[in-house]
Every structure is written in C-alpha cells, then in structure tokens.
Structure 1
Amino acid sequence: MSTLPAPPAPSPKKRIFDRLLDRGIVSKGELMEALSLTSTSLTRLLEEMIAENVLQLSGHGDSTGGRRPLLYRLDPEYGYAAGLEISRSYSSVAVFDMNMNKLAFDRWRMDERMTPDQLIGRVESFLEKARREHGIVTERILGLGIGAVGPLHSGEGVIQKPLHFPSPGWTNVPIRRLLEERLGIPCALENGANAALLGEHWALRDENVKHMLYVHVGVGLRSAVMSGGHIVYGATDMEGSIGQMIIQVDGPRLQEKGNYGALEAFASIQALEKQARSRLKLGGQSVLNAIAGGPDELNFDHLLIALNQEDVFVQELFAQSASYLGVGLANLVNVLHPEKVILGGALLSAYEDAFAIATQVAARSVYHSDEYRPEFSKGTLQEDAVSFGAALMVYRNLRV
C-alpha cells in the first residue's frame, strides 16, 4: 500500500505571511515565539519582505518596560484576491486586499438566463470595473477562488451535476479552466460550504476555535466540517448529502432519487414550497391563495411575501421546518462534537424565529456534559462567507 508524499513544509517567509494573514498586526516578539525563529533570522526575513513590498511597518506596540516593539502587517496593496460564489439562487463576486478588506462586490440572481458563459462574462466585467475604480494593476490580481455548489471534482476544477439550477448548461462545466482562460489569472475551485467555513473560521481567529460545523439551508442543504482547524474531506465531494439524513422512517420523499424521510423533505426551500402547495390544495387558508394565483404557481418568493404579511399559515410552515432542522443539527452535533455551529441560508434569513427554534430543538437533543456545550451562531460573515472564504483560499495558496 502506497501513500501520497507529504506536502512540502512552508518556507519561513510563507510562515510569516500566514501568521500575519491570520493575526493582522503582529510584533516581532510574537513572530519569534510563534514560529521558533532566531532574532537575527527573523530580522533578515522581515527586512527582505518589506523590501519586496509584502509587509509594511505598522507603528509601535505598548512597552512592557523596554523599547516599544515594532509592529508589522501585510501590505494591503501588494496583491488582491477575488472570491466567487456560484449558488443555485444567487451568486456573488468580491475583491479583497491583502488584509481581507472588501473593496468591491456584486451579487445577482441565478435565473434561467444565467448560463456558465453569462456568469463568466459578468465576473469578467466586474473585475475590469473594480480594477479601474480602485487603480489596481492587472498583475496585482493574484487569483480567483471559487466556492460552488456540488458535486464537484475540485482537483479538475469541474462542477459536475448540480441539481436545481434554473439555467441549463451547468453539467460537467470545467469552470476553473474557463475562468482562467477568460480572466488570465489562476483560479481554484472548492465547494461553497467549505469556502464559507474557511471564511467564518478566519473571522473567529481570535477565539482559537478548532472544531466547527457549518450548515446552509437553501434550495438544498449544504454542510462542511472542520476538525483540528482543518476542513474534513471525504472520498467524494457531496456537500448536499446532509439533506439525505433520515429523520423520519417512512417519511415523505422530496426528490425521485432521494431518501424517504430525509431532512431535505422537511427543511429546505423546496420542502416549504411542496408543503405549502399540498396544504393549500387541501383547503388551507392563507394570503397565498391571492398572491400566488393557485397552488401550482406557488414559489418561494410568494412565501416570503406572505411571511412579511405575518400570514399564520406560512409562519407555521417555517417554524415546523426550523424544528426539523434542529433534529438534524442534533444528530450532526452528537456525532461530530463541534465547538461552534454556524447556520446560514434562506430559511434562517427569511424567518426571524428560525434560528432560535432550530437551536433550541438541537440543544434539547444534544448529548453533552458539563465540559461540552456547543455554541450556535449565525456567523460573522453570513451572506459574504462563501466569496470571502474563496478569496482567502487565494492567499492561503500563495507562494511567498
């Protein structure tokens, strides 16, 4: 049995770069302690990186009795990274400087016209505009990270057979190659849930969280897991498999190939639409009857309108879905034991009480001790998490 060779150890400059990327502003003393470098070696490396415009001085820290320490940070203008989210309902793209400050952003709906070629053209136009408005030299765009719905072949840069895209043409799309040819910059593909978790983990860097779970509830359910500060990968890239978790034996089935009684049949946009149509056909009383023009015409936008009108029928649907989501979360937490659980997606953002309901149900069913109590959160980055995490990948992969 053979094993893959271990990846090469990062260079001392790369270790300094990564530390500053994670910590922001750092003193020489902190770098010496964290990276186990001698004062002479570290001074030489810092001077070289300043001369290369990778780092810059950022003033002085507080004195502990002697000279005030010099502080360092990454030069925000050394390079820029773009992050692209490709999702079923909405997609977005953003440009970040070296200190992960967002400089430009665009977001659009994924309708029936948004083919791969249309999306690539929109990204190209966005980057050209961002360069002009911020005076960015083309060569300073270091790369584009892509966070996309699965299933993917990340190594080949291919979006394989995603479900529920409104536009045709999204099967077996070599998205990395197509974007690299059009944009002329390196691109990397990761599933969107993993990218979001990378972003949210960076946002919590001061808390030193090592074990995390990310769950996104939209058209389908997507999840990502982090253990020991690293994303956990399986034998295949099926980020939506959480939706196939069976939570009710002999329960309903959402899709022809899905499991009966699976979580996606209770807690997803599709489930909400299907349940609303069925109940309306059985005589359910709701403003949806007037808004949608009939059960068969109903979609999620109609549910949001009714929800904004405080329609009790729709509120009950969302509350029930959130409760089932809590059951699924409890199952995951009991297996994975994360320190923090980040929840996002349309169900959580549309219905204000969904987060409280889901987490309360989950907390009641989580087996814990006095030493272990998971923390639930909506996250820091929220809707920006995927594009942020995708751009962060560019800097993580950067050779310094």
Structure 2
Amino acid sequence: MLQKLLSSTTQKGINLKALYNCVRNEPELTKAEIAQSTGLKLSTCARLLEELIEQGLLYESGEAESSGGRKPKKYSIQPDVNYLVGIDISRTFSKVVLMGLDLKIIAEERFDMNDSSTPDVMIEQFTQVIHSMLDRNNIPDASLLGIGVSAIGPLDTKQGVIKNPLHFPAPKWEDVPIKEMLKKHFDTNIELDYGENTALDAERRLGAARDDKNVIYINKGAGIRLAIMLNREILRSTGGDKVGAFGQGHMVVDIHGKKCVCGNYGCMNTYSTIPALLTEAKSRLKRGHSSILSETVDDFSTLTFLQLVSALKQGDDFSEQVVKDVAYYSAAGLANMVIIFHPSIIILSGPMYREMKLYYQTVVEMTEARYKKLFPQLNVAFSQGELGENAAAIGAGSLVLDSLLSF
C-alpha cells in the first residue's frame, strides 16, 4: 500500500503523502498539530488520517494531554509495512543495517575495511548479508522499499557514483558506480549521499539533535567530514556535486602553516586528523622525546593510531601532550564555526573523538574558551552523538523515504 501512495500524483495523493511525511518526521503528533504543520483543514486532515489508518500505514500511538474534554489521539507510522536497508562505506569499516520504516534496527552487520576491500568484494558481501537479513526475518524481497548508501566524497549523488575518495585501504575506489552495481542485485530504489549528511539526519530524527534546530556535525578520522543543519534543514552546497560536501578540513587555521594536499597552506587537515596526529608524534619521537612508545614500537615510522591510543590510555605524558597540541587546532576551527552559525549543539564523532577521551574533552574546553570571549551568553551543548557508528547507515536508509516522499 505504501508504494501505491508514493506513486500517486493526484492532489489527494499529494495531500496524503504530505500528511504521511509529517507524521513520519514528527511521530506522535495530534490531529490538530498535523493540520497546523501541513496547512490542511482540520476536517480534511481527519478524513485523510482515517484513510491512512484504514490502509494500515498509520496507527493511533497514544493520547495527548487534554485541557478539557476527550484526550486527542496521537499518530505514528506503521513500521513494518515496508523495510529499508542502510549501507555506510567509510575508510575503516562498512556497516549494513536492516530497519523498519521507523528506522529502528532489526539486523546489522559490520565489515572491517582492509587492503582487500575493493568495490567488487564489498558489493558481494553487502548483497549476501542483505539477502541473509531478509531471509532470517521472513521479509520478502518485494517488501524492501529501498537501499540508501552513505559514503566518503567526492560523490556524484545523482548518478550514484563514488568518485575518488582519499585514504581508502584498498584500490579501485575511483569512479565506482555504486548505485548501478547494487541495482544488478536488487530491483528497488537506490540512493547515495555523503555520510556526514546521513549521520546528522539520523541524529536529528532519533538521536542527540532531536530537539535542536541548528546543529553542527563533525566526523574526524583520516579526514574531516562536516554537516550543518539550520532551522531543521541540512545545508547543501549551491555548487552541488561539482563542489562536494562542506570542507571544514580545508578551513585555514595557520596562514603560514604546512602545505595541504589541496595546494593551500595551513588547512585543518594538516594539523588535526589521524595522519596529522601520527606525523607529529613520529616527528617528536625521532627527535628523542621520552615515551612508553619507545618500549613498544621498534620503528617509529610504523607508529599506528591504535598504538598511540593505547599509550594515551596508559597515561603516557608524551601522548597526552601531542593529543592536546593537535586538539588546539580543532578547537580553533570549531570556535570559528560557533561564531558564524551559533548552533545549539555540536556533535563530534569519528575515531579521533570516539577513541581519545582526552582529545574530545580538550577540544570542547578550548572551543568554549574561545567563543565565549566574544559571546559569553551563548551556550552550546557538545555531544558525541547517541547513535554511534550506526548513525550514517541509519540516515542512509532514511534517505530512501526522503527521496520517495519528495514532491
């Protein structure tokens, strides 16, 4: 029944989709709240609600408080009418999640990315896992409404192509027609977007940004991925895929600084990413700085992020100082973002924030110290998100409904 609703082009069908989308975006609204949000007359809204309930697409999910008289009903979408799959492809791991329409995870699978994780290998693994998930949960293929894919840019989201991402551990990730490759295995809707956008969308719907209008989301690891939400809308570049996603990694934090891969000097990428952190640590170790890493790493040029994290957890003074120094540049860039956008919350995700508590705490403290000099009354909340590494995949699945309900 949902496919029939989604394919309708009549005025009534458009109104039904608008109402359904309203309830999907804000579950447990009352009839009056839905009418106000959609702009439909209350009588029209009541009639369409009943129709969607009869079709099994919505249900009465509770009662709201009443100022007098009968308590108004609240409405939510039926989660098991169809199902969604979200795939997140990153440099260190990939994730597949199977969800109901309410974006609650039914099944999930994680894949570590290594030097053998080529596009062909990953598509084969994704395909096997999705079919297995559907079979184990007795879901027919026809009930799969679509597959959303989140990935590292640059992307061609319209054509469904991953173009030429940096720092992937395996070869052949240039000009990958991911949408076309999945279409060979699944006769369903396929959508592609930047992982930072889908992660923020998931946190907006289910996580740390549920009650916020203006949000900054940053994922920091081998690179820096930025998403911005203003007035509950996720911003997209006016240049589209020709420009790509927002590039906080190329915000200049030292005009006389190190040369970046982009050709400019002093970009955030050269100071506050995993490669930058390791470069700084290796340089100091080679100059003779004392550290417990001297006992565990034979060749400093082979130092890994996990080794540095381990030393940090053991209280290594050297590792703590390197992390604090690198955090300084993140805080400078983040304070710039706060001063410009005045977000109510900033979500800091990715391995640098997730694996290094000291790094996260230092960035938050230094960011607050900077922006409060100019805006002492501005209070910004900081979070590492509530959905963890599943955020991007959840948001990717939601992307399918976003596309189908757009009109």
CA contact (8 A) 2:208 2:386 kept: no
Q: Give the whole-Å Cα distance in 1 for the aligned partners of 2:18 and 2:43.
A: 16
Q: Deviations over 1:245-272 (max 9, x none)?
A: 22123222354x4432221121110011
Q: Give the whole-Å Cα distance in 1 for the aligned partners of 2:209 and 2:248.
A: 29
Within a 5 Å distance, the mapping from 1:131-170 to structure 2 comes to 131-170=134-173
Question: Is residue 2:66 matched to residue 1:52?
Answer: no
TM-superposed deviation, 1:225 = 1.5
Letter of the structure 2 residue corresponding to residue 152 of structure 1: L
Q: Give the whole-Å Cα distance in 2 for the aligned partners of 1:336 and 1:29.
A: 33
Q: Deviations over 1:99-155 (max 9, x none)?
A: 221111111211101111111112112211211222212111111111110111111
- Matched with 2:273 is 268
- Matched with 1:358 is 363
- Matched with 2:326 is 321
- Matched with 1:66 is 69
- Matched with 2:231 is 228
CA contact (8 A) 1:152 1:237 kept: no
TM-superposed deviation, 1:292 = 2.9
Q: Give the whole-Å Cα distance in 2 for the aligned partners of 1:240 and 1:273.
A: 25
State TM-score, norm by structure 1: 0.91
Q: Relative to 1, partners in 2 of residues 1:205 and 1:349: Cα closer, same or farther, differing over 3 Å?
A: closer
CA contact (8 A) 2:98 2:107 kept: yes
Within a 5 Å distance, the mapping from 1:244-255 to structure 2 comes to 244-253=250-259, 255=261
CA contact (8 A) 1:85 1:93 kept: yes
SS at match of 1:163: coil
Question: Is residue 2:353 matched to residue 1:333?
Answer: no
Q: Relative to 1, partners in 2 of residues 1:295 and 1:253: Cα closer, same or farther, differing over 3 Å?
A: farther
Segment of structure 1 superposing worse, 358-367 or 192-201: 358-367
Letter of the structure 2 residue corresponding to residue 324 of structure 1: Y
- Matched with 2:6 is none
Out of 172, 176, 182, the residue aligned to residue 179 of structure 1 is 182
Q: Relative to 1, partners in 2 of residues 1:108 and 1:287: Cα closer, same or farther, differing over 3 Å?
A: farther
Q: Relative to 1, partners in 2 of residues 1:312 and 1:206: Cα closer, same or farther, differing over 3 Å?
A: closer
Within a 5 Å distance, the mapping from 1:161-310 to structure 2 comes to 161-203=164-206, 208-234=211-237, 235=239, 236-239=242-245, 241-253=247-259, 255=261, 257-310=262-315
Query: Could you list the runs of 5+ residues in structure 1 that have no partner in the other structure?
Result: 1-7
Q: Give the whole-Å Cα distance in 1 for the aligned partners of 2:208 and 2:45.
A: 23
Segment of structure 1 superposing worse, 197-206 or 75-84: 197-206
TM-superposed deviation, 1:321 = 1.6
Q: Relative to 1, partners in 2 of residues 1:204 and 1:88: Cα closer, same or farther, differing over 3 Å?
A: closer
Q: Among the aligned pairs, what percent are the same residue?
A: 30
Q: Give the whole-Å Cα distance in 2 for the aligned partners of 1:346 and 1:206.
A: 20
CA contact (8 A) 1:150 1:237 kept: no
SS at match of 2:309: helix
Letter of the structure 2 residue corresponding to residue 344 of structure 1: S
Q: Deviations over 1:149-179 (max 9, x none)?
A: 0111111111111100010000011111111
Question: Is residue 2:382 matched to residue 1:379?
Answer: no
Within a 5 Å distance, the mapping from 1:21-36 to structure 2 comes to 21-36=24-39
Letter of the structure 2 residue corresponding to residue 244 of structure 1: H
TM-superposed deviation, 1:71 = 3.0
TM-superposed deviation, 1:61 = 4.0
- Matched with 1:398 is 404
- Matched with 2:125 is 122
CA contact (8 A) 1:152 1:160 kept: yes
- Matched with 1:345 is 350
CA RMSD of aligned residues (A): 2.3
Letter of the structure 2 residue corresponding to residue 323 of structure 1: Y
Number of residues of Structure 1 aligned to a counterpart in Structure 2: 392
CA contact (8 A) 1:153 1:237 kept: no
Q: Give the whole-Å Cα distance in 2 for the aligned partners of 1:245 and 1:69.
A: 50
Q: Give the whole-Å Cα distance in 2 for the aligned partners of 1:353 and 1:301.
A: 15
State TM-score, norm by structure 2: 0.89
Q: Relative to 1, partners in 2 of residues 1:233 and 1:262: Cα closer, same or farther, differing over 3 Å?
A: same
Q: Give the whole-Å Cα distance in 2 for the aligned partners of 1:34 and 1:179.
A: 36
Q: Relative to 1, partners in 2 of residues 1:350 and 1:206: Cα closer, same or farther, differing over 3 Å?
A: closer
Query: Could you list the runs of 5+ residues in structure 2 that have no partner in the other structure?
Result: 1-9
- Matched with 2:5 is none
Q: Give the whole-Å Cα distance in 2 for the aligned partners of 1:140 and 1:317.
A: 51
Out of 92, 96, 105, the residue aligned to residue 93 of structure 1 is 96
Q: Give the whole-Å Cα distance in 2 for the aligned partners of 1:227 and 1:128.
A: 38
Q: Give the whole-Å Cα distance in 2 for the aligned partners of 1:300 and 1:312.
A: 16
SS at match of 1:182: coil
